[in-house]
């Protein structure tokens, strides 16, 4: 049965600094760029807040995790356990495991393995790995993505975490490539379907194609200038969930102006008719 989850991006103006991972091409290494943001709720406090608001799970963007030492990750795991809110997916928001640059690919694979360990320590059930940054018509990049995802899936299994990928970034920006990845790797990896990541002109058809294979969805509508969801379009996409037999978490995303918690509730007010 479906239930509500939330993506931490929905309240990114409440959770403190964003710690973006970037590739330093000149130095051939990973750097972290810090984007200051207010912190009205800590990540350790968030599970209890979400429980009070009736959410069953959360997807956490990796740049919202302020520390990765063992002591902090144990605290985070306990915060989720005591709240009853599941840490569903750690969203690794960086990486190009399909890169033709062997050094870059090896570095990004090593970083992904590091974050798999972090996900395991924090109690996440899944970790989202980006399939690649290459254009979707690159057969060579897709082949490298198959190999990399298979390697990471085997690594994650040893840590009790499941690899998922998403229709996110160029390589997986078509349903054909998402389905090719699932066909090649089968149950070794899962799939997230994001409402907002396919090209708008074919969004409905592309999303309908992958939903039967998705274990979770990111329900992200488009918004008007005041932060109100474009309701008719959002409902059209939400209707695909029961039509496809989808019964996993519906992860709400608000990405508009104003108070973000209020924005989340505007999204939920529409999506509740499909749970």
Backbone CA torsion sign across 126, 127, 133, 134 = negative
Over residues 179-188, mean pLDDT = 98
- For the chain, the domain total comes to 1
pLDDT for the residue 1? 87
CB count within 10 Å of CB 196 equals 17
CATH number at residue 267: 3.20.20.150
Across all residues in the chain, what is the average pLDDT?
98
Q: What does the pLDDT average to over 248-253?
A: 98
- In this structure, how many other beta carbons lie within 10 angstroms of the beta carbon of residue 185? 18
CA distance 201 to 92: 28
d(CA 175, CA 186): 15
pLDDT tens-digit readout, 185-202: 999 999 999 999 999 999
Tell me which DSSP letter residue 34 carries.
E
Total Cβ atoms within 10 A of residue 95? 27
Mean pLDDT of all residues in 100-109? 98
Q: What's the mean pLDDT in 58-72?
A: 98
In angstroms, rounded to a whole number, what is the distance separating the alpha carbons of residues 132 and 42?
31
Domain of residue 160: give its range.
3-274
């Amino acid at each position: 049965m479906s239930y509500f989850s939330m993506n931490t991006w929905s309240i990114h103006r409440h959770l403190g600094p964003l710690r973006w991972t970037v590739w330093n091409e000149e130095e051939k290494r990973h750097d972290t760029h810090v984007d200051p943001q207010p912190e009205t709720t800590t990540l350790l406090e968030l599970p209890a807040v979400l429980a009070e608001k009736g959410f069953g799970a959360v997807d956490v963007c990796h740049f919202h995790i302020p520390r990765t030492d063992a002591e902090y990750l144990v605290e985070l795991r306990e915060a989720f356990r005591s709240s009853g809110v599941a840490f569903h997916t750690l969203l690794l928001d960086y990486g190009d495991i399909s890169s033709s640059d062997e050094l870059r690919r090896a570095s990004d694979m090593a970083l992904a393995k590091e974050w798999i360990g972090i996900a395991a320590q924090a109690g996440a059930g899944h970790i989202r790995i980006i399939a690649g940054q290459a254009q979707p018509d690159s057969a060579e990049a897709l082949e490298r993505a198959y190999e990399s995802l298979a390697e990471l899936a085997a690594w994650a299994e040893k840590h009790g975490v499941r690899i998922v990928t998403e229709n996110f970034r160029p390589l997986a920006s078509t349903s054909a490539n998402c389905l090719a990845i699932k066909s090649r790797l089968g149950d070794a990896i899962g799939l997230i379907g994001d409402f907002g990541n396919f090209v708008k002109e074919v969004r409905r058809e592309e999303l309908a194609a992958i939903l039967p294979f998705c274990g979770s969805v990111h329900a992200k509508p488009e918004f008007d200038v005041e932060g109100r969801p474009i309701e008719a379009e959002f409902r059209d996409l939400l209707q695909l969930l029961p039509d496809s037999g989808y019964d996993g978490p519906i992860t709400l995303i608000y990405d508009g102006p104003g108070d973000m918690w209020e924005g989340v509730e505007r999204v939920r007010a529409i999506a509740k008719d499909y749970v």
